[in-house]
Amino acid sequence: MSFDRFEQVLVQQDERTGLHAVIVIHDTTLGPALGGVRMHPYPDEAAALDDALHLAKAMTLKSAAAGLKLGGGWSAVIGDPARDKTDDLMRAHGRLIATLGPGRFIPVNDVGTTQADMKLIGGETAPVCDSGDPSPMTALGVLEGIRACLRAVGGDGGNGIGGATGIGPGTGSAAGTSTSTSTGPGGDGDGNLAGVRVAVQGAGNVGSALADLLAAESADLLISDTDPTRATAVATRVGARVVPPADLVTADCDILAPCALGPVVTDTTLPALRCRAIAGGANNVLAAHHHAAALEARGILYAPDFCINAGGLIYLEEQLLGHDEAQARTRVRAVGTRVAEVIAYARHSGVTTTDAATELARARLLA
């Protein structure tokens, strides 16, 4: 990506602690930039920078689409968290964040970092999001987004969703009534999840929490993770079936829920997808912008990632405002309403759901 229209990009290497990090501030029109601290063994600095640029921009859109008074940013720390992460390295990253100015970038834990790491960073800069894991709220928002997708593809008059019976590549309809012949539970278009087959990619914090919520509503679950022990543990707890990571994306299902690292929809995976809709907690699900139109051509409904996975960000803003969890949950559940609005706007305007969500977010930024 180009640096064009990004407010600030900062790169630092600290020989004493081993810190090699990138911080990107995309847009602070609506408020301070809130973003993750991701530690990952990127192959080089360019890969880390590319990841941070994409994620920072997504955070801006996510905040705007969710109606928050926050901007978008991200930080990427190059290294293996299992081998390279130390308390001194995290504190050094906190000092780097502090150079941006008070409150300009508000960090939260992401892949490879923890709440304990945020407390270390918080010893050097403020504010930080270090009290309460936002992952369950991200999962709750995704659950409501999935419900909105089911209503959108369920059609009128009881066209079925429940289970993947009769579902094949290109048989769904992202632009109107379902063409599936399935008549299983949950097929009345009301967002009921009983019997709906959901393939959850990733058994980490968000994927695990989403699996719990789906299991509580009697969904038929498939789950995968690059760590087979973690996948098995979650599957045993919720009664899911473990699927090898290489097979999960193309599994026969109603909903594909990416909850790990992107991209998920690529030129390679797209032709083999066998889902009715894609709705998950991962960022950067689409490898390229043109994949949104390609999904629509396949009849696969896509809930834009920065719209459906905003629950955690909403929760974090609620924390910063000092509100209680009950109010936060109410706001997070409204993610489903926003996803439904995006789908309706896309259909009315004749654009992809990604373009619809982006237009709505940019309209708020311009206003």
| pLDDT, tens digit (0-9, with 9 covering 90-100), for 149-160 | 999 998 322 334
Does residue 173 have a pLDDT over 70? no
What 3-state DSSP class applies to 226? Answer: coil
Q: Give me the pLDDT at residue 33, please.
A: 97
pLDDT tier, 169 (very low <50, low <70, confident <90, very high otherwise) = very low
**Mean per-residue pLDDT for 312-327?**
91
> Does residue 118 lie within any of the structural domains?
yes
- For the chain, the farthest-separated pair of C-alpha atoms sits apart, in whole angstroms, at 66
User: Looking at per-residue confidence, does 110 or 348 come out higher?
Assistant: 348
Classify burial at 81, counting beta carbons within 10 Å of its beta carbon; exposed 0-12, middle 13-18, buried 19 or more: middle
Q: Quick one: what percent of the chain has pLDDT higher than 70?
A: 90
Q: Give me the pLDDT at residue 192, please.
A: 85
**Mean per-residue pLDDT for 226-251?**
96
Residue 173 structure tokens:
């309809």
Residue with tokens 């690529």: 266
219 and 355 belong to one structural domain: yes
pLDDT tens, position by position, 40-92: 999 999 999 999 999 999 899 999 999 999 999 999 999 999 999 999 999 99
pLDDT tier, 172 (very low <50, low <70, confident <90, very high otherwise) = very low
Does residue 132 have a pLDDT over 90? no
Does residue 194 have a pLDDT over 50? yes
Q: Give me the pLDDT at residue 350, please.
A: 96
**Mean per-residue pLDDT for 231-236?**
97
Does residue 183 have a pLDDT over 50? no
- Count up the domains in the chain and report the number: 2
Rounded distance, CA 332 to CA 259, Å?
A: 17
Compute how many other C-beta atoms are within 10 angstroms of the C-beta atom of residue 272: 9
204 and 115 belong to one structural domain: no
**Mean per-residue pLDDT for 248-266?**
94
Compute how many other C-beta atoms are within 10 angstroms of the C-beta atom of residue 278: 27
> Does residue 232 lie within any of the structural domains?
yes
144 and 271 belong to one structural domain: yes
Structural domain boundaries enclosing 277: 135-309+339-360
213 and 103 belong to one structural domain: no
Query: pTM of the full predicted structure?
Result: 0.82
> Does residue 326 lie within any of the structural domains?
no
Q: Give me the pLDDT at residue 188, please.
A: 40
Task: Note the Cα 47 to chain centre separation in Å.
Answer: 20
Rounded distance, CA 222 to CA 312, Å?
A: 23
Domain boundary among 122, 153, 183: 122
**Mean per-residue pLDDT for 332-355?**
97
Q: Give me the pLDDT at residue 2, please.
A: 67
Q: Give me the pLDDT at residue 74, please.
A: 97
Mean pLDDT of all residues belonging to the chain:
89
Domain boundary among 65, 90, 122: 122
